[in-house]
Amino acid sequence: AQSVTQLGSHVSVSEGALVLLRCNYSSSVPPYLFWYVQYPNQGLQLLLKYTTGATLVKGINGFEAEFKKSETSFHLTKPSAHMSDAAEYFCAVRGGSARQLTFGSGTQLTVLP
């Protein structure tokens, strides 16, 4: 079985501040982990993914995430928030042989001027 918990359904940061969106997963096998972003009235777009290898993964738009097996976490960060980062962010997990991707409940990021 696999599951994803995103702590904080809403996160607000000031423009220029650090963005930290939390994701913890549960998987009985080594997981593949993904972060997707959804802008208003649009579909989901991949930000980054972890499969194997380097645990610090860099994605688009300056985002990165670190896979920490001991903490079963895959938190998403960005050093400096832009207004354009305001969106819904989803963490997702898929175990090695799992048939499907399991999404977290999402975190709405608000960027304050």
Structure tokens at 113: 């001027």
CA dist 52 and 47 (Å) reads 17
The stretch near other proteins (CB under 8 A) out of 13-21, 35-43, 63-71, 73-81 is 35-43
Q: Which one of the spans 15-23, 43-51, 61-69, 78-86 is the region binding other proteins (CB under 8 A)? A: 43-51
Look at strands 73-78 and 102-103 and give their pairing.
unpaired
Which C-beta is closer to other proteins: that of 86 or that of 98?
Answer: 98
Partnered with residue 68 across adjacent β-strands are 73
Phi, psi dihedrals of residue 33, rounded to the nearest 5°: -125, 145
Residues that bind other proteins (CB under 8 A): 32, 34, 36, 38, 41-46, 49, 51, 88, 90, 94-101, 103, 105-106, 108
